[in-house]
Amino acid sequence: MKSTYIIAEIGQAHDGSLGMAHAYIDAVAKTGANAIKFQTHIAAAESSIHEPFRVKFSQQDATRYEYWQRMEFTLDQWKGLKAHCDEVGIDFLSSPFSNAAVDLLEKVGVKYYKIGSGEVNNFLLLEKITRTGKPIIISSGMSSFEELDETVAFLQEKKCEFSILQCTTSYPTVPKQFGLNVLQELKERYHVPVGFSDHSSTIEAGIAAVTLGAEILEFHVVFDKNMFGPDAQSSLTFSETTQLVQAVRNIDEAINHPINKKDNSQYTSLKQIFEKSLAINKNLPKGHVLTFNDLEAKKPKNYGIVASKFQEVIGKKLTRSMQQWDFLNEEDIHES
């Protein structure tokens, strides 16, 4: 039975505020999503002062390194976030960006590990995670098939359970960048569960992906798209998130109940009401040779010759005079 695993990503939307992080947990829980995902940054382990500040958006941070520092939480704070998730019934996930972050998250207790697009070929990090024995979800955003082949081979060698998400590393993603075709290509190439990581700031991309077979759906969420942060413009609001979650659940339900188009017996009574019988559209004398222009189709069915057989009556003679809108039956016609 299809049940799409829905991940609402917070990323850095909390902007380093522990209180805001907890507020996001409560908000995500109300949408019906399965999981909330954070990012675990340990600046000293993942970055350096030489890292380019690729997005100059912060008024607080002179360097990217300082920004990562501001995104950090302590072990106890992370444990508190995890406990809060347990209380409200959603899975706690966080993407690690260093081996040190994996050590921290192991102490916190994560169900899965989500690998961001920039870490797919970081085999040092992947090795660290495979040693935990936990499943891995990989975003393929910046990877070619050739690069993914190497990562998949590495994970298969480690006997690791994993899934792959189609993802386009562009914020926000526009429709021509969705890459919905890649979902089936990933499934056929690697024979693992596939999903869709969305940055479009719309609900239609996720709906389309689930309809096309995505088993995991991930997207960014934010309280308001005008909030400060690198992903705000690429996120869904909570109103949109609730709408998307409900749509996905409905699609899952539809896929789990395929229709047998060979059997339409359930429509027998409706067909009687809505299908039509042949009738005469004008007063006609006995002996008149019927033409197409003499005919009309009227509800209900079975009060005259069925409308689908109209070609069989054209060219035949009336056995009696008929009034406009009379139903036409077999006894009313004969060969001319």
18 found inside a domain: yes
Q: Are residues 269 and 223 in the same domain?
A: no
260 found inside a domain: no
Q: Are residues 250 and 310 in the same domain?
A: no
State residue 180's pLDDT score.
81
Instruction: Report the range out of 57-66, 74-83, 116-125 with the highest average pLDDT.
Output: 74-83
Q: Are residues 294 and 220 in the same domain?
A: no
- Of 200, 227, 255, which marks where a domain is finished? 255
What gap in Å lies between CA 71 and CA 11, rounded to an integer?
10
User: What six digits make up the tokens of 321?
Assistant: 């005079």
Residue of 206, 177, 180 whose CA lies nearest to 31: 206
Domain that holds residue 284: 265-334
Q: Are residues 26 and 153 in the same domain?
A: yes
- Of 189, 221, 255, which marks where a domain is finished? 255
Average pLDDT value for the chain: 89
Number of independent structural domains in the chain: 2
Q: CA gyration radius for the chain?
A: 31
pLDDT digits (tens, 9 = 90+) for 179-215: 788 899 999 999 999 999 887 778 889 999 999 999 9
Q: What is 89-123 written as a DSSP string?
A: T-EEEEEESSHHHHHHHHHH--S-EEE-GGGTT-H
Residue 176 has pLDDT above 90, yes or no: no
Q: Are residues 176 and 107 in the same domain?
A: yes
Which CATH number characterizes residue 312's domain? Answer: 3.90.1210.10
Residues 218, 37: contact at Cβ < 8 Å?
Answer: yes
State residue 199's pLDDT score.
74
Q: Are residues 229 and 294 in the same domain?
A: no
Residue 124 has pLDDT above 70, yes or no: yes
Residue of 90, 91, 115, 89 whose CA lies nearest to 102: 115
Q: How confident is the model at residue 56 (pLDDT cuts 50, 70, 90)?
A: low
133 found inside a domain: yes
Q: Are residues 228 and 319 in the same domain?
A: no
Instruction: Report the range out of 64-68, 257-261, 323-327 with the highest average pLDDT.
Output: 323-327
Q: What amino acid occupies position 154?
A: F
Helices (H), the chain: 18-31, 43-46, 64-70, 75-88, 99-108, 123-130, 145-157, 181-190, 204-211, 238-255, 268-274, 310-313
pLDDT digits (tens, 9 = 90+) for 271-314: 888 899 999 999 999 999 999 999 999 999 999 999 999 999 99
State residue 53's pLDDT score.
60
Q: Are residues 49 and 154 in the same domain?
A: yes
pLDDT digits (tens, 9 = 90+) for 58-78: 777 778 888 888 888 999 999
Q: Are residues 245 and 114 in the same domain?
A: yes
Q: Are residues 227 and 316 in the same domain?
A: no
Instruction: Enumerate residues 6+ apart whose C-beta is below 8 A from 264.
Output: 271
What dihedral angle (degrees, nearest 10) is formed by the CA atoms of 188, 194, 199, 204?
Answer: 80
